[in-house]
Amino acid sequence: MTVPQQDVSARRDGYVAGRDLHLHVAGQQLSLYPEERFATPLTYDRARPIFVQYLNPEIRSCYGRPPTASFTETDLSQALHATRLAVLATDEHLILPASYLFEVPSLSVFLTRIRSLVVRGTVHYSSHIADLDSYVEHKAVEYRSDVRNPYELTPHRSLTDGLVWRPRYAQNTATDIGESWRAALEPDGQLAGTLAGIARRWPVRLGDVETHLREVPERLDGQAFISRFVRATVPVTLEAEERARVDMFLSREYLASYLRDLDAAIVADFDFGDFSCGVRQMQAPLADRVLSARSFDLGLRWLGIHEFVHRGARWRDLLSLRSTAEFGAVATATQHPVLRARLREAVIRGRKRIKFQNAATVQQAHTVVSVVASKLDVTLNQTDPDRRAR
């Protein structure tokens, strides 16, 4: 079977209606066998955009990457690997916060490498303020304590060429983090242990340690709610473990703010780092917004399209591949343990109909996905009496 190559725009159109045929189940329990009732529903929604968190300097620093260092070739290669999976993980867009235009080293190089996605409208940038000059004025105040304030520069308008602006509607990220910060200092909060550790070293002359830490949002006085500014408001040096906990907490709450506001998901759990900052350990629905890159890549290897996706495919090939209902079914299956087992069985069943081992073209990738998706549907029908009845 040969599928003609398509040049598919990322904008919502007719194909979206069939994007998750067979396996798209939101907020419901799915039974494959009468005795298999999942404690956790399958809530992977391909209509959610993907928030590109793996470029964020503060998040990267939580995983040992210097926040101000330029990207090496290895860093860029990893970012592009992640972006290929992000494109395949959604029928929607990729979203960058507007701050990346100024704070991410080598962003211009990255955008050049994904230019084909940009011109197709697949990549959006998000902020509360549409006007870039006004945005820079606002952010310059937040970073006024930096020796080199990234927002003192003239706006890089060329970077936004082709990017679609996507407004944020909720309150700003610093306000969201401030509310979570106070809750985290409660006796059962996420930073209660950190508070206790700091209290043991706290000089009596400085007053009540808990009061001081609760006032950190006010002490920041409009600065960005990031780790180095927070530490500057605390008059004792944080130990390495305390610093790591604070860094991870702030990045996790930053991510949670964007995921809630944009109704977005992230791709994380890469071979080269998790980059989820513990969001998957949060309560639903946020925990359901973290998609596993390892599981995606495992599924691509089973299908024999991993090398094509990460080495041979053009960006338009990936947009074409993800636009099919069959790929939506296969991608969804990679993200659930029981469906992943069914996907493996479908791949084994489908190999007899595929005359090549590894796809080398987008047409071959379409073929193998179509064959496996049909076998996956057969497997589900054979093992789910309720589905057969429908």
Q: Rounded to an integer, what distance in angstroms lies between the CA atom of residue 156 and that of residue 134?
A: 13
Q: What is the pLDDT of residues 211-241, one digit of tens each?
A: 999 999 999 999 999 999 999 999 999 999 9
Q: Could you tell me if 223 and 150 are in contact, meaning their C-beta atoms sit under 8 angstroms apart?
A: no
Structure tokens at 10: 């990322």
Q: Could you tell me if 42 and 94 are in contact, meaning their C-beta atoms sit under 8 angstroms apart?
A: no
DSSP class per residue in 267-279: EE-BTTB--STTG
The strand pairing partners of 167, in sequence order, are 127
pLDDT score, position 352: 86
6 — pLDDT class (breaks 50, 70, 90): very low
Greater confidence, 131 or 326?
Answer: 326
Amino acid in the structure at residue 255: L
Structure tokens at 153: 């520069």
Choose among 343, 371, 341, 342: nearest CA to 355: 371
Structure tokens at 317: 């090939």
Structure tokens at 4: 């003609």
User: Residue 290: in which H helix or E strand, if any?
Assistant: strand 290-292
Choose among 9, 196, 188, 185: nearest CA to 91: 9
pLDDT score, position 4: 42
Choose among 20, 13, 7, 8: nearest CA to 330: 20
304 — pLDDT class (breaks 50, 70, 90): very high
pLDDT score, position 242: 96
pLDDT score, position 73: 93
Amino acid in the structure at residue 230: V
Q: What is the mean pLDDT of the chain?
A: 86
Q: What is the pLDDT of residues 101-147, one digit of tens each?
A: 999 988 999 999 999 999 999 999 999 988 888 999 999 999 998 88
User: Residue 193: in which H helix or E strand, if any?
Assistant: helix 192-201
pLDDT score, position 157: 67
260 — pLDDT class (breaks 50, 70, 90): very high
User: Residue 97: in which H helix or E strand, if any?
Assistant: strand 94-97
User: Residue 108: in which H helix or E strand, if any?
Assistant: helix 107-113
Mean pLDDT for 53-81 is 91
Mean pLDDT for 303-331 is 97
Q: Given a cut of 60, is residue 27 above it in pLDDT?
A: no
User: Residue 291: in which H helix or E strand, if any?
Assistant: strand 290-292
Q: If DSSP codes are grouped into helix, strand and coil, which group holds residue 9?
A: coil
The strand pairing partners of 378, in sequence order, are none
Q: How far is CA 86 from the centre of its chain?
A: 7
- Tell the burial category of 351 from Cβ atoms under 10 Å away from its Cβ (0-12, 13-18, 19+): middle
Longest dimension (CA), the chain: 78
The strand pairing partners of 270, in sequence order, are 273
Q: Collect all residues with Cβ–Cβ distance below 8 Å to 147 and sequence separation of at least 6.
A: none
pLDDT score, position 342: 95
- Tell the burial category of 303 from Cβ atoms under 10 Å away from its Cβ (0-12, 13-18, 19+): buried
